[in-house]
Structure 1
């Protein structure tokens, strides 16, 4: 089963069970590398973000998801690749940098774990350094995406794509983990600011 057929099935399912509103889709780069960064509410996030995008988003997804054969079948065809949580996964970083160098969109959730609702007031933001590290090493623009949803059947789901931006990071400098965490926090604040637009 090809990715276009999967996308069609997903689109039909979402149109029946959810009221999906896509905002700012014109902000998605038509070509070239980009790091798609989003808040993380559910395992459904990557499906809602990607099903109306013409370009394939290559997602970092926790390796546990790939243990389920059926789920692995779907997510690998939709662009996902595994990452080990709780430790620095050098392999996943190298894969991401290679994909970016080839001009792909790589998707990552900077918070590293799910939060049931979007943080509307930019409070209690906990991030991982990976998003900032990818931005530094690749020098690719960041595409911020906000998911505003409960994912309850027949509820409204808003997916907001912001304008791409870059971080002022020297590609060749060795930043501390604390410095990268601050940059990742900036990314998340930019994402949550989309709630007000």
Structure 2
């Protein structure tokens, strides 16, 4: 079995190389960033990729986005995401298609080396391996982003829909204006309203809220 590893931690990367080599797997390349992962997979055409989620340069979701790119290009490529985090947005996209030859494991929950090797082999053969915590977090992610708002964020959203200013919201809810700003930024984030000079995120959030209220009186 030919394997490419992508992990920015040198110690963990080299540890995985040694572990898989001892298990009679052929580690053909080990990359330290997402760009290197794509290059090595293109160069070596491996049977399996093991990749971290957060990698240079920004340490956010570069590894998972690279895996999505590789799976779109070759849906038969077996991939194990090995991370300390569940990155919901791209994990949902990754798992919404064919999950054959796909694994998503949390590093801190890998407690047995033999089980880990067995899991790697199972995914390489076309199986699926999802950590229970990954499944739980993704199931908690509802189809309607508004379901992700906390009760206080919903209170703030309702007052935004009434046209209240941040100062007006603060007075109504007995909050500081800085706290209101924090809640509003959280709402924008949960509704996936990225900053764009061409759009008013406050208006977009309110439109989303009012359309939901109309559908669910």
The reply to whether TM is greater than 0.5 is no
RCO comparison, higher one (Cα < 8 Å, 6+): 1
Question: Could you tell me the TM-score, scaled by structure 1's length?
Answer: 0.33
Higher alpha-carbon Rg: 2
Q: More strand per residue: 1 or 2?
A: 1
Q: More helix per residue: 1 or 2?
A: 2
Question: Could you tell me the TM-score, scaled by structure 2's length?
Answer: 0.30
